[in-house]
Amino acid sequence: MRSRERSARPCAGQFGFGGAVAGLSYGGPVPVEVRLCGDLVRFVPARLRNKAIRVTYDGTSSLGHVVESIGVPLTEVGALRIDGHTVPPAHRLAEGDVVEVDPVTRPQTMATSPPRFLLDVHLGALARWLRVLGVDTAYDTDADDEALVSHAVRERRVLLTKDRGLLRRRALPYAAYVRGSRVEAQLTDVLDRFELPLAPYTRCPVCNGTLATVAKDEIAHLLEPGTRRSYDDYARCTQCLQTYWPGAHAKRLDDVIRLARARFSNGTVSPTSPDRGSEARAAEKGRT
């Protein structure tokens, strides 16, 4: 594994006081402070960013629970420190403790290498782009939260979502919040966070199946005359049998692949990949 590990950004500047967090209802009167580092401030209201968040601690809850109560999913948390010493999420706080919370270290190591993903229902565009890059990405538009969790557990997949409530599910072994509203930003975030070898054009963007080269003669009868005249190299999904060839929309996807390779990956291209400007474009009559 190459060394690309980056330190979490330090907590920004001097902290003012953000006051107690509304909604926390700990019974005890023990005051503690929580300082969020890096981009973790995105998870709290604007008025609390770059401020030490005062929390009235009940004396029994875990530090992890306190951090979650502020609004920060533990999936996004790296080191937790008190007086410079790292403590676990199960740690119990003492009066006057000042806790620094780091974002998760990137690249993040997961249970499987490379990680396999499961995307929440509203991340369909990201699912397609990850598949085009050859990343194993499950996606089902009809899955509810229970189905997503059981799928992630069963196949040891990293659940990617923008739903913070879903990230708090205890049954989920691996999950991550996806930053960005546009697919380009989301893809950049995922590639930056995980160690992902890329194999462009080796997976079907429709179903996540693997692609295999198919002889033109085998599928010629399914192609439009213009396509048949223009292209000689074809691939077919081994699961849904969708046929692909170098497509008209290749440039945008090739730009994405170049960007991904340049910034994030040392992965090599699979020898079965066309890798020369072929968008994995669904054949209009491409089901064989």
Name the site residues for Zn ion (rule: CB under 5 A). Answer: 204, 206-207, 209, 237, 239-240, 242
* C-beta closer to Zn ion: residue 4 or 287: 287
The nearer residue to Zn ion, 103 or 286, going by C-beta atoms, is 286
**Residue 160 or 283 having the CB closest to Zn ion:** 283
In the complex, least distance from residue 283 CB atom to Zn ion, rounded to whole angstroms: 12
CB closer to Zn ion out of 3 and 141: 141
Kindly tell me which of 116 and 193 has the beta carbon lying closer to Zn ion.
Answer: 116
Q: Greatest CA separation found in the chain?
A: 78
* Closest distance to Zn ion from the beta carbon of 258 (Å): 25
Supply the angle between the helices 124-132 and 250-264 in degrees, to the nearest 10.
80
34 or 204: whose CB is closer to Zn ion? 204
To Zn ion, the closest distance from the beta carbon of 223 in angstroms equals 18
Q: Is 52 exposed, middle or buried (0-12, 13-18, 19+ CB in 10 A)?
A: buried
- Shortest approach of Zn ion to residue 32 CB, angstroms? 52
Residue 244 C-beta: closest distance to Zn ion, Å:
9
For Zn ion, the closer of residues 204 and 223 by Cβ is 204
Q: How far is the CB of 123 from Zn ion (least distance, A)?
A: 18
CB of 177 to Zn ion, least distance (A): 28
